[in-house]
Structure 1
């Protein structure tokens, strides 16, 4: 805490930022649902997208996406999609999306990512997002991804050694926590945050008990190869968060710092997909 100014120190302990107000800036801004599930004759769900999903592919491409639900241990229904790769996929990516979007709005990106990396993609909506039940709380983030993790193994028989955990923005919070508990093929931290309080005080040297989203602590426990990606001009989560996560992750590989990159535009840079391919082809855990 010695790195904080006296004024910041007093503000933190006399008028500390409410964790819910921090969370409001980072997450828990679910849009109106942009999709729905429709039951098919075989009991599976097809995904019906609304205009707000901004789907950019063909109707046949939409058939690659299978919808299903799991139930978290906190009792919430969690909506999930599984995007099948056309080729013989080497990995399954468990993707945790960012703020202010749902599965419908993420669907085009998921299809694109799976095609570019030759991977199956499994993604889900946090409690209170899309058609998932419950409310968007930090504790539900962890319960949601744990339920999806169990469902991935039982429904699709995916072994952890064939899984890439990928978190973007607020999605790095459940991703890092799960990665700290399970060894997988690899982990991708895309525009992640060190912790909630560090959004206000990035120079903090100590993680307090009241600090939400303590990625900076949990990243030290990851045992899998970890690729950290961050834009140097990120306007939402400052670049120093990427630097902090990288320096505290003992299994981190060479990071991708996108010069001039913001929070929502890194995938448009050629270096982005090239670095991900090299990570999957060369650096992930095998065996």
Structure 2
């Protein structure tokens, strides 16, 4: 019964939307935070489960903002907001993904969300070597739950809570009344509020019809540390905080004395950007990897779909050379997975000279050598050329790429100009 209640509660509090980003959406800003990283900051093994996080850096900033988004968005949908957070406050931003959201596997619950939150904090302090007094916690809506829980355990440079709530039970009490007593409590924010020792900025609109303003009022009264409550009369639950500087930017800048700088910059370890740490179910397919090789390989595929033809003149270097190290074909056509893209152990100089004078059929040129081709050891090579071989019989259909739109707005120009892989 408890598991059933937990599953229903997870669906209500964390209704994960369709993923709005892929493994290729933020190539230099999507980091893979290990859930069980070593205490000494060494490189964790690849097999460790990883949490996708968005890391936006700002040169020589003193502060890092650990951001927890609302339950109606994932890292892709909150990317623009995080980007503006970084630029307005001139601070690094590390946004944490929830289980079941985006590329993060699992089911969201109070326990699993806190596991991701603690993993991200450990990554910031250990792997990024960032001092905890240089970290600010930012939680919005359901994200104020893990934010308050972390702030009750550690002293940070500051805490920003946007549309916070008292507890899960109080959220349900506003909707279902007495039945809320049967709900499992994941975030007892009112109980944890007095334990926060960091400066706290609360922002809650009086026109919020999702989480009543009384939640922020009671939380504000329970906080014993330095605090400030901003309560705009016309602000609703989903008001864009960046449209009006008086909602977030100016209060936070004055309350926390932002921005501030240091003489050393944040260094991101290379292993954190390694996509092989992504969960296997979200890793790119071989087709995607082949597409990344660029136009040359795809144009070769078009070339192989045509009938074998002759050409006169010097043999040109095949695009396969850049991908697989050899432009020669195997003795069987079409090649199989066991023997596909092959490299000759040696090439007879006389044959090379002769080939520059006479034209050969691309389909039979490999037969002139007396030495049989040696199968490649690189696992991507047979898969790549096997796919190209099948192009002789099947029409290559490129996956349709949908416009990169988030929240009705296109991505920033930095991410709008992506490499064109269409043919």
Q: Does 1:280 align with 2:256?
A: yes
Give distance in 1, aligned partners of 2:234 and 2:201: 19
- The corresponding residue for 2:332 is none
Q: Which of 163, 172, 182 lines up with 1:191 in the alignment?
A: 163
Distance 1:209 1:218, change over 3 A: farther
- Runs of 5+ in structure 1 lacking a partner? 1-17, 39-45, 49-64
Shift of 1:261: 0.7
Distance 1:266 1:239, change over 3 A: farther
Shift of 1:157: 1.2
How many residues align? The count is 240
Shift of 1:211: 2.7
Q: Does 1:66 align with 2:29?
A: yes
Q: Does 1:97 align with 2:69?
A: yes
Q: Which of 221, 231, 235 lines up with 1:247 in the alignment?
A: 221
Q: Which of 51, 54, 61 lines up with 1:81 in the alignment?
A: 54
For residues 134-162 of structure 1, give each alpha carbon's deviation from its aligned partner in whole angstroms, at most 9, with x where no partner exists.
Answer: 11112111111000000111222110010
Distance 1:112 1:244, change over 3 A: same
Q: Does 1:179 align with 2:142?
A: no
Give distance in 2, aligned partners of 1:133 and 1:22: 18
Give distance in 1, aligned partners of 2:51 and 2:237: 26
Specify the SS of the correspondent of 2:228.
Answer: coil
Query: TM-score, normalized by length of structure 1?
Result: 0.76
Which structure carries more strand by proportion? 1
Counterparts of 1:121-132 in structure 2, within 5 Å, are 121-132=93-104
Shift of 1:20: 5.3
Give distance in 2, aligned partners of 1:252 and 1:230: 17
Give distance in 2, aligned partners of 1:158 and 1:227: 22
Shift of 1:129: 0.7
Verify the 8 A CA contact 2:31 2:54 in the aligned structure 1. yes
With 27-36 and 156-165 compared, the bigger mean Cα shift is at 27-36
Shift of 1:31: 1.2
Shift of 1:97: 0.4
Q: What do you get for the CA RMSD once the two structures are aligned?
A: 2.6
Counterparts of 1:94-173 in structure 2, within 5 Å, are 94-173=66-145
Specify the SS of the correspondent of 1:78.
Answer: strand
For residues 34-90 of structure 1, give each alpha carbon's deviation from its aligned partner in whole angstroms, at most 9, with x where no partner exists.
Answer: 11224xxxxxxx716xxxxxxxxxxxxxxxx521112335x75311111012x4312
Query: TM-score, normalized by length of structure 2?
Result: 0.53
- The corresponding residue for 2:233 is 259
Distance 1:176 1:239, change over 3 A: same
Q: Which of 10, 14, 20 lines up with 1:34 in the alignment?
A: 20
Give distance in 2, aligned partners of 1:176 and 1:226: 10
Q: Which of 182, 188, 192 lines up with 1:218 in the alignment?
A: 192
Verify the 8 A CA contact 2:14 2:71 in the aligned structure 1. yes
Shift of 1:227: 0.8
Shift of 1:168: 0.5
For residues 4-39 of structure 1, give each alpha carbon's deviation from its aligned partner in whole angstroms, at most 9, with x where no partner exists.
Answer: xxxxxxxxxxxxxx56555544x311111111224x
Give distance in 2, aligned partners of 1:256 and 1:266: 15
Give distance in 1, aligned partners of 2:128 and 2:159: 20
Q: Which has the higher Rg, Structure 1 or Structure 2?
A: 2
For residues 238-275 of structure 1, give each alpha carbon's deviation from its aligned partner in whole angstroms, at most 9, with x where no partner exists.
Answer: 10111111111111422111112101115022212111
